[in-house]
């Protein structure tokens, strides 16, 4: 191979920390399997540290989102690649976990549904596609748009954020790099500063893990404050299969002290609603009365019990 004798201009370093070369394990490809697995697993601890550092920012986003969601607004997730898939996952899991309506958890991913399983090359580079997807989803003033981009520079995501802000929605941005356009563009910026990846540039590693933890934390905190949890029990789950039926019985028994027969009977009378069954048993009222008391308290079981 003949080398090019012409002088090569040095490329400027990429300012994004996620694109940097990790200083540890320069011989990663030479490690024995136990050491390789340890190195990959150990680097993930940086994801937890990043989310802990971001906890105040996540709390501000939760507080800002609640009034809109209490008015009936939606959670709209926007991302590309790994970030987009994590948004799809968080949106999808809200329904079986908290009985959150499917229509109120809207995942938007660059390249559309095909991109959930396949890489759609170039989709993330189109800001107008982000604008169009937000328009198609009819994002409005009561909605909360959660934009996720490890780089913080993804054009599709930035286009979606701009369109959502014009529509009056609250915008939350999760980025793994400080000082990025995404964090400057949103109402509630959340920096998840995970730094370089152990496999340099592979943000599906700890950058993605930090995004997953942050999304879990944000959406779960929102659901707790919306009354989807009683104590620390997941009481807005509905028993729709054998596994969930067993879980529902255990939750009702734990919350009320009822025996298994009483818990099952209460769940049957409550159409499988754990929350209604708990209020029914603790207050000694009918399932219809329990449901009415919950509705009067916007679904908050503790408030319904204290009012009773």
Query: Which one of 19, 113, 118, 124 is the catalytic residue?
Result: 124
Whether the CB-CB separation of 265 and 290 falls below 8 Å is answered with no
Spatial separation of the C-alpha atoms in residues 57 and 80, rounded to whole Å: 22
Cβ neighbours of 59 (radius 10 Å): 15
Query: Which one of 19, 49, 93, 245 is the catalytic residue?
Result: 93
93 as an active site residue: the answer is: yes
Q: Which of 97, 103, 100 is nearest to 235 (CA)?
A: 97
Spatial separation of the C-alpha atoms in residues 108 and 134, rounded to whole Å: 8
Active centre residues (catalytic)? 93, 124
């Amino acid at each position: 191979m003949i080398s090019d004798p012409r002088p090569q201009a040095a490329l400027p370093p990429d300012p994004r920390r996620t694109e940097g070369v990790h200083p540890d394990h320069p011989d990663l490809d030479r490690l024995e399997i136990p050491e390789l697995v340890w190195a990959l697993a150990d680097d993930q601890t940086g994801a937890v540290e990043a989310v802990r550092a971001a906890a105040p920012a996540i709390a501000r986003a939760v507080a800002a989102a609640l009034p809109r969601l209490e008015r009936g607004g939606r959670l709209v997730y926007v991302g590309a690649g790994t970030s987009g898939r994590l948004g799809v996952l968080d949106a999808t899991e809200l329904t079986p976990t908290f009985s959150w309506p499917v229509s109120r958890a809207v995942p938007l991913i660059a390249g559309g549904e095909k991109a959930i399983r396949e890489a759609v090359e170039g989709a993330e580079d189109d800001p107008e596609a982000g604008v169009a997807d937000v328009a198609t989803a009819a994002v409005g003033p009561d909605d909360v748009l959660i934009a996720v981009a490890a780089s913080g520079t993804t054009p599709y995501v930035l286009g979606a954020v701009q369109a959502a802000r014009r529509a009056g929605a609250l915008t939350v941005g999760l980025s793994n790099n400080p000082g990025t356009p995404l964090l400057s563009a949103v109402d509630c910026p959340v920096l998840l500063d995970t730094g370089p990846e152990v496999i340099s540039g592979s943000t599906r590693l700890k950058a993605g893990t930090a995004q997953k933890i942050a999304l879990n934390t944000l959406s779960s905190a929102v659901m707790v404050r919306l009354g989807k949890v009683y104590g620390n029990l997941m009481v807005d789950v509905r028993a729709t299969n054998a596994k969930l039926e067993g879980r529902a019985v255990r939750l009702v028994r734990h919350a009320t002290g009822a025996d298994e027969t009483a818990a099952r009977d209460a769940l049957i009378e409550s159409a499988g609603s754990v929350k209604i069954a708990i209020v029914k048993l603790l207050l000694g009222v009918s399932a219809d009365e329990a449901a009415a008391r919950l509705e009067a308290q916007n679904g908050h079981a503790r408030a319904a019990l204290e009012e009773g």
